[in-house]
Amino acid sequence: MNCSAFKQVDVFTSERYKGNALAVILDADGLAEADMQRIAAWTNLSETTFVLTPSAPGADYRVRIFTPRSELPFAGHPSVGTAHALIEAGRIAASDHLIQECAAGLLPVRVVGEGSQRRVFVRAPRAQLHPPSESITAAVTRALSRPPGGSHPPRIVNNGPDWLVCDLGDEAAVRGLKPDMTALDRLSAETSSIGITVFGRAQGKDYQLVVRAFAPADGVPEDPVTGSANAAIGAYLLASGQLETIGTNYRVSQGREIGRDGYVDVCVGAHSGDVEIGGSSVTSIDGMLALP
C-alpha cells in the first residue's frame, strides 16, 4: 500500500481548531490529478495541498492546491500552511528566501521567528483589478440585500482566483451580514468569480479590518480565513487610495462568525504593488495517509 506523510494544519492561528484547516499531503509525486481531486473532496476542507518535487529552477518545493471541486492556481492559507508543514517535517529549512512553485508561478515565501512564534508570509501573484461597473454594483446589492457601505464600488480582483471585493464600511456591517448563499452562488456565476469577500474597518481593536469570504459556487459557503481574498483586498485598498488611514501593514480578523477567529497579517508595497499575507500555523493531525 502506498502512503504519504500527512498533516492537517490550522492556519492563521496559534490555537488548534481555530483559523482555517488545511490538509497537506507531503509525498504526492506519482499521484494522478484525478486522485488529488478525489482526496480533496474526501477531506472536505476548503483546500487540500499536494507537495511535489519542483520542476522550475530555483524552486524549493512545488504545490498543487485543490478545493473539494477544483484546482486553484493560488490560495493564501494553503501556501502559508504548506510551508509550515514542510518546515515542521524537516523537508525544507526556514528561510527569508524560500520559493514556492504553484500553478500561478514562482512565489517568494519568507519565515519570521521560530517554533510556536513562527509566522510564514507568501507574496501573492500581482493583482489585476477589473474596472468597476454599475452592473456589478447592482448584482452585489441584490445578493447582499444591501448596498455597499464604502465610498468605492465593488471590483473584481484577480490574483490567481477572481475575487469580487466589496467594502461594507464598518465592522458591524460585516459581522452582522446574513447572506443568501443561493444569491451568492448566482453572483459568482454572473461575475465569473470564485466568490465575494467583504470587509469593514475596526475601531480601537488590535486589528484594523474585519473580513468575511463566501465561495458557495466552489463548495465553500463561508471560508474561515482566506489568504487570497485578503491579498485581493490589500490590492483594492491600494488602488483606491485607502491605505493612508489603514496603513500598509495591517492585521485582519476573520472567521469569528463560524467559530474560527483567525488573524491575517497583510503587508502592501505602496510603490511595488506587491501584497504579502501571512500568519501563524499549528498542526492538529500528524500521521500517514493511504494513497489511491
**HSE of 7, CA atoms in CB hemisphere, 13 A:** 24
Is 47 one of the catalytic residues? yes
pLDDT at position 181 is 93
Distant-in-sequence, close-in-space partners of 171: CB < 8 Å, separation ≥ 6: 200, 201, 202, 203, 205, 210
pLDDT at position 78 is 98
Backbone angles phi, psi at 181, to 5 degrees: -65, -35
pLDDT at position 140 is 95
pLDDT band at 151 (very low <50, low <70, confident <90, very high): confident
Q: Is residue 68 pLDDT above 90, yes or no?
A: yes
- Structural domains of the chain, ranges and CATH numbers in brackets: 3-126+279-290 (3.10.310.10), 130-273 (3.10.310.10)
pLDDT in tens, 200-254: 999 989 999 999 999 998 889 999 999 999 999 999 999 999 999 999 999 999 9
Q: Mean pLDDT for the chain?
A: 96
pLDDT at position 169 is 96
- Sign of the Cα torsion 126, 158, 13, 270 reads positive
Q: How many CB atoms lie within 10 A of CB 53?
A: 10
Q: Do residues 200 and 212 lie in contact, with contact meaning Cβ atoms separated by under 8 Å?
A: no
Q: What is the mean pLDDT of residues 118-138?
A: 96
The amino acid at 126: R
pLDDT at position 217 is 87
Q: Is residue 95 pLDDT above 90, yes or no?
A: yes
DSSP-assigned letter for residue 235:
H
Which residue shows C-alpha cell 463566501?
214
Q: What is the mean pLDDT of residues 124-130?
A: 97
Instruction: Please pick, among 47, 88, 222, 276, the residue that the annotation labels catalytic.
Output: 47
Distance between CA atoms of 146 and 91, rounded to whole angstroms? 48
Assigned C-alpha cell, 128: 489585476
pLDDT in tens, 14-34: 999 999 999 999 999 999 999
Assigned C-alpha cell, 168: 461594507
Q: Which of 228, 211, 275 is nearest to 249 (CA)?
A: 275
In angstroms, how far apart are the furthest CA atoms of the chain?
58
pLDDT in tens, 179-212: 899 999 999 999 999 999 999 999 989 999 999 9
pLDDT in tens, 260-280: 999 999 999 999 999 999 999
For 123-180, where are the alpha helices, taking DSSP H only? Answer: 134-144, 171-175
pTM: 0.96
